[in-house]
Structure formats: structure tokens, C-alpha cells
Structure 1
Amino acid sequence: MPGTITVGLDGTEHALAAADWAAQEAVRRGTDLRLVHAWVWHPTDTAYVGDRASEERTLRTMLSEAESRVAEAHPALDVSTELLVDDPVPALVAEAARAGMLVLGSRGYGTLAGYLIGSVSLHVLRMTERPVVMVRGTGQDATVRQPAGDVVVGVQDADEAGGAVIDFAFAAASERGTSLRAVYAWSIPTVLLWSPGSMWLAEQEGGLEPLHRQILADALSPWREKYPEVDVVEHVEAGTAAEVLLSHSDRAGLLVVGRRTHDTGLRRLGPVTHAALHHARCAVAVVPHA
């Protein structure tokens, strides 16, 4: 996965955790790291200590400090910074289009505030056609979590359309030298979807679970051939996709999920991706696919 890794900074500890994660990823891949902050000065009528120039200096200092932090940890890494004079969402979407990967910080939430993800990140995730990695900066340090643990991928679309998600996960596991855990959740079909004859054929094959295991195996087969060095663990379980997938995130180094791009009018992330972004304890890569 060639290309510069770009980090969107906003001055928070979560964004610094994202920069740390991205720096390690850039070193691993042998790519450059770009740190950016999008900003438009909005003067107000209220009393304000400072002006446009002082605010710009503050932001440039923030970028410089983040650059120094990364350079100290990775002296050989090529790091650049830029203050983008634009609104955050279009600026980050444009940056993502030019980068191999966009990395953003994520607060991560519990059940009560589970759907209060930052509006900028949410809009960027919905609009970009490139992979975006969300890195949590709370709890166990994201820079510690990154190297440890397998890459976990949620296989929802076990067909050609979901290939971009699976390919990203295999490539990430190959880069890290770790195994890949492919998780596929299934549910008992309703009588409206399965005829009595179909159910009888499934029972003749030993039940429904072997059929779903074969679906997952078939979906992974091309990528096993492309990445023979990656050790793959296939996990098939009955249950809701979000619950099954999240049950594997605690021991993951990276969780990979997909986002369909064909429904451009709604720009939905989907319930599984939403759940992963808000509740997974590791970094989450969201990969757009058809």
C-alpha cells in the first residue's frame, strides 16, 4: 500500500496518538508522513485576546511540536507539516484523495455517549474514497497497542465487492508480520428467505454453519494466494455482525471494516462500522468499497 500517510491534527491528545500510530506505520511501510491542520479564521464581535496572526502562530507551533515529537521517536522518518487554510472536512477529504492513508484521532466512547463521534471525522469518513484509520487516544496507549495483536477483518460482503476490505487487511497483516483473523457472522434465515427445499439441502450438508464457513473460505481464497505468507484464522459465528466482530477487537492490533460507496446520496457508514468506530479498543481502518 504505497503513498504518503497523512494525519489530521486538531491539538488534542487523541490526534497526537494518531500521529504516533501513523509514524510507526510510515516507518514500517517506508513511506513519508504528513501532518496537517485545516483552519479558517472566523473573527467575532466578542472580546478576543489575539488576532488572526497570533492564532496562526499558535497552530503552526502545534504542528511543529507534533513534528518534533514524531522526529524524536523516528529520526530517519521523512516528516512534513502544512497548515491548510480551508474548512476541515473538504480539506481532509482532499488530503485523503492524495494520500495512501488518512489517520485521525478518535476519542472512543462507552454506551451512554456511543454516537457522539466528532462531526468532522464522521463527515470525512462518509465522503472520502480512501482508507481512513481512526486511532483512540484514551485507555491503553495506541502506540503500545499498534504492534501487538492480530489484524482482524470483518467480512460482511463475501463477494467481489468486498475485496478491497479483505485486500487491505491482508496487506496490513503482511506488513506487520502478524496473523489475520477473518470474522464472519451469520444469522438463522427467516422462512421468507429460505424455502423448505433449501433448508433440507442445508441439513443434508450438516447444517447452516458449514455453508457459511464455505462462503468465508471462498471469499478469502484469492487473497490467501496473493499473500501466502499471512497466517489466516477463519472465525464463523452465529450472531449479530457488530457483536461478533467487537468480541475480537480487545486482542487486535488493528480492526478493518468496510464502507459501501455506491449509495452516494445517503453516505451511510453502516451499523457495523459505526459500532467498531465507537467501541473497538484498537485502531480501526475504514476501507471504502463498491
Structure 2
Amino acid sequence: MRMGAPITVGVDGFAESPPAAHWAAREALLRDLRVRLIHAWNPPSPPAPALPHEDDQSYWSQRLLTDLVGELRDTHPGLRVSAELVPRETVPALLDAARDAEMLVLGSRGRGTPGGFLLGSTGRQILAHGVHPVIMVHADDKPLTADVAVGVSLRRPNEEALRFAFDAAARRGGVLRAVHAGTNRPEDEEAAGDEEEPGAEGALDAALRPWREQYPGVPVAEAFTAERPALGVVHTAPGSGLLVLGRDETEPGPVPHLGSVIHAAVHHAPCPVAVVPRG
């Protein structure tokens, strides 16, 4: 954890923003961090003539933030929270804010609803290019539990995702559920018959061992499923309060490729999803 870094929340006028902000508030209290609310909007160019405040976009944007700050302070005593109205395009404003944050939290309208952070280019860009963890929260996420699920690739485990998941489980006092889905072995199919190579159980145990030693108080449950990863990880998430997934470096291009597992999880997982970039 970087000293002094806030948990930043991207806020818009949709119903998913308050649940995302409340998730961030609970997380901030667990970590003794402050919450920073960001609302980005494009001011008119050239500037619009002076308008009565009820017709002024900046007035309603500021009102949105002010009301949400009050709601968070009332609901989470002791929370340190600030809000900022940023007159910039959404993607660069949030990516800049995320660079100085412990994590960035966004409300997601991913479950079958057009638009929203995920389904539009905004969500794809931020998930693909955020340099710190990005948390996607749905308005209808199931009640929180202390358990944390993490998807583990055996070919090349994402150490940053494992660190984030173990730390989250330790702070919550929950079980870490380490999930490997898809092939039974970390090797390519051509090597699957080599008896000298370890099986999935041994590879998963090796990936988790250093983190078990660093977090000896965290109970760990290992899960294997033969389903393809995009389905298997999502199907093992119910019962967890958070699903953690690693993200490899994104290839440059006009439409970032997030991978089928992240795409499926943010659409269908019944809990918040943390996407953690590989360091």
C-alpha cells in the first residue's frame, strides 16, 4: 500500500455510482485511507453564456458530488472523503486520477444494460490502461461476505493479483478461494503427457505458497474446474465478496482487448470485480 494514496471513485449521474462510492468507503475504512470522488465533464467550447443555476451543468455536477459526500459521511462515521469536479474528458481525467490512487472504483452497468463504464469505450480504456487496481461495482451485487476469490493462471501467475487478493482476505477476515479453470495442467497441451511435469494441484500450490507464508492467518481453499476460464471463474465467484483477476499488458489499439475472463466477470460475476495489472 502506497502511503497517502486515496481510493478514488469515478462518479456519474447513474444509479451505480452510489453503490460504488459506498464500497469504496467501506474499503477505505478497512485500509485507513481517504476517499476521493471524481466527476469529469466536458465544459462547452466556447463557454456557454451565464445561465440560472438550475440550467447550469456545473451546478448539477457539483450538487451530485455534494449530496454523495453527505450521504457517505452519514453512513460511514469517521470516513475521510473529498470531491472534485474535473472539467476534462472522462477517460483521461479518470486515468490521471487513478495514477495517484491506491485503486480506482467505478460503477458498472454491465449486466445486460446498454452503455455504462464497461460496455462503452470508457470502461474498456480504463480497465485496459489503469496502472493500479480497478474495481467494478454493480448496483445489484449480492450482500457482502468476507471471502475473496482470485483467478489463478498456472502458466504465469499474476503476483500483483495474488498480493491484492491475500491482502483483501486478511483485512476482511475471510477465506481466500483460489480458482484455476480450464486445462488441468499449466503446460501446453503438447506437454500434457510428460509425467515429470507437475499437475495442476502442484502448480497451484507452488503459486500460492509464498503468499500463504506471508499471510499465515488467511485460510485458503483451492478450487479446480474443467470449464473454460471465462465460465469457470465466474461460476466459482458466488459466495465471495470480491473477485480478483489479473490483467496482462494490453496491446495498443483503438479497442483494447481485455480477454474473455475479465469481460465475462465484469458482466456476470455476482460481486465486485478487481482487475489488477501485472507489474
The TM-score normalised by the length of structure 2 is 0.88
| 1:174 equivalent in structure 2 | 170
Question: How far has the Cα of 1:262 moved from its partner?
Answer: 5.7
**2:261 paired residue among 272, 281, 289:** 272
CA deviation string 1:157-216 (max 9, x = no partner): 5536x1011111001101111010000123268xx9426xx62627xx9xxxx7011111
Q: Name the CA distance, whole Å, in 2 between partners of 1:81 and 1:289.
A: 29
| 1:121 equivalent in structure 2 | 123
Aligned-partner SS, 2:174: coil
- Gaps in structure 2 of 5+ consecutive residues: none
Seen in structure 2, the aligned counterparts of structure 1 residues 188 and 281 have a Cα distance that, compared at 3 Å, is closer
Q: State how 1:1-290 maps to structure 2 within 5 Å.
A: 1-2=1-2, 3-42=5-44, 54-110=56-112, 117-138=119-140, 140=142, 145-146=143-144, 148-159=145-156, 162-187=158-183, 193-194=189-190, 199=193, 201=195, 211-261=199-249, 263-265=251-253, 267-290=256-279
Q: Name the CA distance, whole Å, in 2 between partners of 1:91 and 1:52.
A: 25
Question: How far has the Cα of 1:100 moved from its partner?
Answer: 0.2
Q: Name the CA distance, whole Å, in 2 between partners of 1:188 and 1:248.
A: 16
Q: Name the CA distance, whole Å, in 2 between partners of 1:270 and 1:252.
A: 22
CA deviation string 1:64-104 (max 9, x = no partner): 00000000011211110100111000000001100001000
Q: Name the CA distance, whole Å, in 1 between partners of 2:52 and 2:103.
A: 35
Aligned-partner SS, 1:171: helix
Percent identity over paired residues: 40
Question: How far has the Cα of 1:118 moved from its partner?
Answer: 3.1
The aligned amino acid for 2:156 is: D
Seen in structure 2, the aligned counterparts of structure 1 residues 186 and 33 have a Cα distance that, compared at 3 Å, is same
Aligned-partner SS, 2:193: helix
RMSD of aligned Cα (Å): 2.9
Residues 158 and 219 in structure 1, CA contact (< 8 A), matched pair in contact too: no
Instruction: Select the structure of larger CA radius of gyration.
Output: 1
CA deviation string 1:209-262 (max 9, x = no partner): x70111111011111111111110111222201111111122110000111116
CA deviation string 1:97-117 (max 9, x = no partner): 00001000012314999x972
Question: How far has the Cα of 1:149 moved from its partner?
Answer: 4.5
CA deviation string 1:38-67 (max 9, x = no partner): 1112369xxxx8689811111101000000
